[in-house]
Structure 1
Amino acid sequence: MKKTAAVALIAAPLLLAAYGVVRIVGKSDGGYGPGLDWQAAHLLALAGVVLFVPAVLGLGALLPRGAWRSGSVAGTMVGLAASMVQFGADIWFALRADDKAGMQALSGDFGDIPGVDLVVYQVGPQLFFVGLLVLAILAARARRLPWWSPVVLLVGILLPPVTLDLLPLSGLLILAALWPATRGGRSAAGPAATAGSGVAGPAGLRPAAPASGGSRTAFAEDEVYAGPPPRLTP
């Protein structure tokens, strides 16, 4: 794996863990958002999502070329793009609003735009987590990751829906699952590596395409507001 991708693969989940820590600290005084703590947390999350782009590309480069690998990486990228829009929108709402009710009103207006709720909130971000898990499974099958990496990654992905206070642990588990991919080894993308790997995908295919699932982003909301369902990332 290239050095840039390896650094991104380490930094991205650490930034998501830092997002969770800042969020917990911000909520401790009962005044989380809008404000410095809200903006700091969401900027960390946005930076982490952005760094996952080279990280995912580097992880995909460890796999044999083919339509299935390309589809998995593309689906993950769509999820990352949706997550970027989501966090970026929350940062913008916090800049414009005087209080959380104002942020919620702006978020509601944004989410009411046709297609935004489905793409940015309901389905889009899920593709990131599902696609990342699919890539980890394929990398484990190709012996680019240990067998336990997809298991640890799945646990890390499933923790935030239980409670967002587990976001720091979730980020560390994602790091632990993907870190072995950063420890060198030539890419399997080249013709020689493809021919010599001896590893076939499920049912003789290469990487399986990501499936959509879940509701909203894995960073589920635990703050409850009156009125329509909130679209802000907490």
Structure 2
Amino acid sequence: MRRRLAGAGTVIALAGLAASLAQAAIDLVVGFRAADGAEMSELFGRVQSHAAVQLAVYDVGPLLFYVGLLALIGSLVSRRGPVTVWTAAAISLGIAVMGISLDLMPTGGALFLLAFASVGRAERALARS
């Protein structure tokens, strides 16, 4: 069960990462091609007018990364290994903070860093014993 959850979490997180990379690529191409703000708005309008692109690249796709991340953390918590409930809570809080505003991305990143640093310390402690 845990392996299936981890496998599904990995696939879902990678799909979300791919959507985020596609979004960044679109943003860069539009930025380089547009001569001014009006042309940039028009090019974005053309790209985002396709319902599948809007849904997969801008609306739902990037969120899949966070869903996959939670599934991966959940599979680690369930094995009672180096990941504690506190780690899962810090990651969940980091996701929530980033969802509130993109201006809070550094705060969410700091929460991720704290959570994963504790995982690294616990892994090293387990390896030593």
TM interval, short-chain normalised: 0.7 to 0.9
Task: After TM superposition, give the deviation of residue 141 of structure 1 in Å.
Answer: 2.3
- Matched pairs, number: 123
CA distance in structure 1 between the partners assigned to 2:96 and 2:38 by the alignment? 29
CA contact (8 A) 1:136 1:178 kept: no
Does residue 69 in structure 1 map to residue 17 in structure 2?
Answer: no
1:158-197 alpha-carbon deviations (Å, 9 max, x no partner)? 11332322111111111111223334749xxxxxxxxxxx
Question: What is the CA RMSD across the aligned residues, in angstroms?
Answer: 2.1
- In 2: Cα distance, 1:164 partner to 1:110 partner: 22
Structure 1 residues 136 and 68: alpha-carbon distance in aligned structure 2, compared to 1, 3 A threshold: closer
One-letter identity of the residue aligned with 2:8: G
Q: Partner of 2:87 in structure 1? A: 149
How many Å separate the matches in 2 of 1:68 and 1:160?
24
Q: Percent identity?
A: 34
Counterpart contact for 1:136–1:145, Cα < 8 Å: yes
Where do 1:1-234 residues align within 5 Å? 66-142=3-79, 143-183=81-121, 185=123
Alpha-carbon contact 1:93-1:103 (below 8 Å) kept: yes
Alignment partners' CA distance in 1, 2:82 and 2:43: 44
**CA displacement at 1:101 relative to structure 2:** 3.1
Q: Compute the TM-score of the two structures, normalised by the length of structure 2.
A: 0.82
Secondary structure of the structure 1 residue equivalent to 2:61: helix
* 3-state SS, counterpart of residue 148 of structure 1: helix
Moved over 4 A (4+): none
Does structure 2 retain, via aligned residues, the 8 Å contact 1:159–1:170? yes
Instruction: Give distance in 2, aligned partners of 1:92 and 1:174.
Output: 30
Distance 2:110 2:34 in 1: 32
- CA deviations on 1:87-141 (whole Å, 9 max, x unpaired) are 1111111111133332222122112235111111121111101111221122122
Change (3 A) 1:149 1:65: closer
Which runs of no fewer than 5 residues in structure 2 stay unpaired?
Answer: 125-129
1:147 CA drift (Å): 1.8
8 A contact 2:5–2:71 mirrored in 1: no
Q: Distance in 2 between matches of 1:108 and 1:148?
A: 42
Q: Which amino acid aligns with 1:78?
A: A
Does the aligned pair in 1 maintain the 2:16–2:65 contact within 8 Å? Answer: yes
